[in-house]
Amino acid sequence: MSPPASSRWRTAVSVIVLSFLFISPATAIYCDEDDCYDLLGVTQSATVSEIKKAYYKLSLKHHPDKNPDPESKKLFVKVANAYEVLKQ
Query: Whole-angstrom Cα distance, residue 15 to residue 24?
Result: 16
**Which residues make Cβ contacts (< 8 Å) with residue 83, sequence separation at least 6?**
40, 51, 52, 55, 59
Domains in the chain, start-ordered, CATH in brackets? 28-86 (1.10.287.110)
Per-residue pLDDT of the chain (88 residues; tens, 9 = 90+): 566 666 666 665 554 544 444 443 446 677 778 899 999 999 999 999 999 999 999 999 999 999 999 999 999 999 999 999 998 7
Quick one: which H or E segment has residue 4? Answer: none
Kindly tell me the burial class for residue 70, based on how many C-beta atoms sit within 10 Å of its own C-beta (0-12, 13-18, 19 or more): exposed
